[in-house]
A and B are shown apart, each in its own frame.
Chain A
């Protein structure tokens, strides 16, 4: 138990970082009504771009901006495959994700893992977040550098920007596109453009989260994003199930996604404490997410006497299965 408690700050930090990715997933999955599998690849792209640029002496913020832009580019590719080439959204995401494996390898000079030289105190001090800051004052680092504080602040700022954007004309058009594309087109909204834009914003955030995790871990691995979509969905759904009734405001909904990601990582930490082989984690994650996705469907099917029309999450089961295949 004490082991679990001492691991808690680390779990919360990781949850916050992945929470930013999950907010990206929320934008595609909940707002645009697209399950975008690009994230499994673009998450690693963010880390890869960051680690290479930062290692070569580029400014931290410039490297993070580059990671964000690289993620947006990945989203653009998926968006164009979907809208211009007419490939179903889910397949477009899978194609980009597959291609990104090679791209990410190329970015990382064909090494499966690239480390930041954090053994040099100088480099470490420049980083926004690091595993080593988690110990806080015990490790000799001030509390304001603690990842929970730094990423927490980062998340709040991000939510504020997104809240602002989705209240604008363009942001409203994006929401309308996801809610009812027929209506959106009838109101003169270019739904294809909105889908591409949404995918770009989403994958930009995902890559940004990848860049943060790369700093936190002190390295970027080629498989770091594997299963990211499942973690993202888990965070979205946990947040919705637990806080959906209380948090109605859009900003709070985004916050609940971040909280969902934190809870997910606390649960994972608890499982790890039980001395379970970590290789079973992905199986566990898939089962948990499948369960959370099933419950609302079964509830409406068996407890209200009738199935309601196409539920937003109804086509998700298929998508998660596909995600599982990728893992296998």
Chain B
């Protein structure tokens, strides 16, 4: 479903601030894979995700989604294939627009937008039903401006928007990191429900090692712009925080993993 081949990305090339964020990353996701990604600050997790989403071009390598080579496509042309939820709850929704308008925008992801109605009556009913899944009471507030919602509500709404039109690939960039623990758990639970229901191919970055172990069928850990650990199947099911830390120390040749990676 997703095939990343040897991608490299350098920021601020040829300056004192030069930072090689991705050093030849290759990764293949099969249809229905749910991969969790962990790694310390600056390991390249977000860069990898942004490179797939097309936020910026890569220096080298190729990215293919469901046989379509998207390497050179701009962000909005990759959108038909990708659903995204960002770390910042403010980023995924339009604050000055209504809940139903946001959903209607998401429902047209990847379509040519012309002079057809921006939202139809039938859609409104559909959205009311879909919002019930979130269990946040948003189904009664269809015409409320999204800016009035809490961070958790906005994040749940963004998740619904990202999956409203079934994406070939769902990208979750630490989408629960800015939420309080209870809300984070709830959003993660909703994520799991939707991913299972729609059998979505998913790439989820998280700062939380337990979450990374508890969710998905495969786990990768990034270190200094490379994939350092890649565990899947039965092996992943047996993972514990301790064994994962042990593996990381071996790979990185240091024991400073704990504090460097901000893991909890």
* CB-defined contacts of A80 to chain B, threshold 8 Å: none
* Among candidates B76, B80, B108, B113, residue contacting A191 with C-beta atoms closer than 8 Å: B76
Question: Total number of A-B contacts with CB less than 8 angstroms?
Answer: 87
A172, B111: Cα distance in complex, Å: 13
| Contact yes or no, A169 B108, CB < 8 A | yes
A250 to B237, CA, bound (A): 53
Chain B residues closer than 8 Å to A178, beta-carbon distance: 96
Contact status of A169 and B116, CB under 8 A, knowing A185-B75, A187-B105, A188-B80 = yes
List residues of chain A with CB within 8 A of the CB of B96: 175, 178-179
Contact of A170 among B77, B86, B114 (CB under 8 A): B114
- The answer to whether A167 and B108 touch across the interface, beta carbons within 8 angstroms, is no
Per the bound structure, the CA–CA distance linking A182 and B79 in Å amounts to: 12
- CB of B109 within 8 A of CB of A169, answer no
Partner of A188, one of B86, B101, B111, B117: B111
A187-B114 in contact given A172-B104, A180-B94 (Cβ < 8 Å)? no
Expressed in whole angstroms, the minimum distance between the Cβ of A189 and any Cβ of chain B is 6
Closest to A170 in B: B113
Scan residues 74-121 of chain B and give those whose CB is less than 8 A from a CB of chain A. Answer: 75-77, 79-80, 82, 84, 86, 90-97, 101, 104-106, 108-111, 113-119
Shortest distance from the beta carbon of B172 to any chain A beta carbon, whole Å:
13
A176 contacts B by Cβ under 8 Å: yes
What residues of chain A lie closer than 8 Å to B113, measured between beta carbons?
169-170, 172-173, 189
Closest partner residue, chain B, to A171 (CB atom): B118
Nearest A residue (CB) for B97: A179
| Distance, CA A224 to CA B194, complexed state (A) | 59
- Let me know if B221 is at the binding interface, CB within 8 A: no
Q: A175-B97, A179-B97 are in contact. Are A168 and B114 (CB under 8 A)?
A: yes
Chain B residues within an 8 Å CB radius of A172: 97, 101, 104-105, 113, 118-119
Q: Does B53 contact A (CB under 8 A)?
A: yes
The closest CB in chain A to the CB of B118 belongs to A172
The residues of A that contact B90 with a CB separation of less than 8 Å are: 180
Chain A residues near B101: list those with CB within 8 A.
172, 175
Contact of B94 among A167, A168, A175, A190 (CB under 8 A): A175
A84 at the interface (CB under 8 A from B): no
- Which residues in chain A, 288-325, are within 8 Å of chain B measured between CB atoms? none
Cβ contacts B41-81/A at 8 Å (1 or 0 each):
00000000000010000000000000000000001110110
Chain B 3-30 residues near chain A, CB threshold 8 A: none
Taking the closest CB of chain A, its distance from the CB of B93, in whole angstroms, is 6
- Judged by DSSP, the binding face of A is helix
Q: Is the CB of B110 within 8 A of A188?
A: yes
Q: Determine if A186 is an interface residue (Cβ-Cβ < 8 Å).
A: yes
Interface status of A184 (Cβ within 8 A of chain B):
yes
User: For residue A186, which residues in chain B have a CB less than 8 angstroms away from its CB?
Assistant: 53, 75, 79, 82, 84, 92, 162
Q: Taking the complex as formed, is A183 at the interface, i.e. its CB lies under 8 A from any CB of chain B?
A: yes
How far does the alpha carbon of A176 sit from the alpha carbon of B103 in the complex, in Å? Answer: 12
Which chain A residues lie closer than 8 Å to B95 at the CB level?
Answer: 179-180
Known A-B contacts: A169-B115, A180-B93. Give 11 more (CB < 8 A): A169-B116, A170-B115, A172-B113, A172-B119, A175-B97, A176-B97, A186-B82, A187-B105, A187-B109, A187-B161, A190-B76
Query: Can you report 23 A-B residue pairs in the complex whose CB atoms are below 8 A from each other?
Result: A165-B115, A169-B114, A169-B115, A169-B116, A170-B115, A172-B101, A173-B105, A175-B94, A179-B96, A182-B91, A183-B91, A185-B75, A186-B75, A186-B79, A186-B82, A187-B79, A187-B106, A187-B109, A188-B76, A188-B110, A189-B105, A190-B76, A191-B76
Please provide the 9 A-B residue pairs with the shortest distance between their CB atoms, ordered closest to farther.
Answer: A188-B79, A179-B94, A172-B118, A169-B113, A180-B94, A179-B96, A185-B75, A188-B109, A188-B110
Chain A interface residues (CB < 8 Å from chain B): 165, 167-173, 175-176, 178-180, 182-191
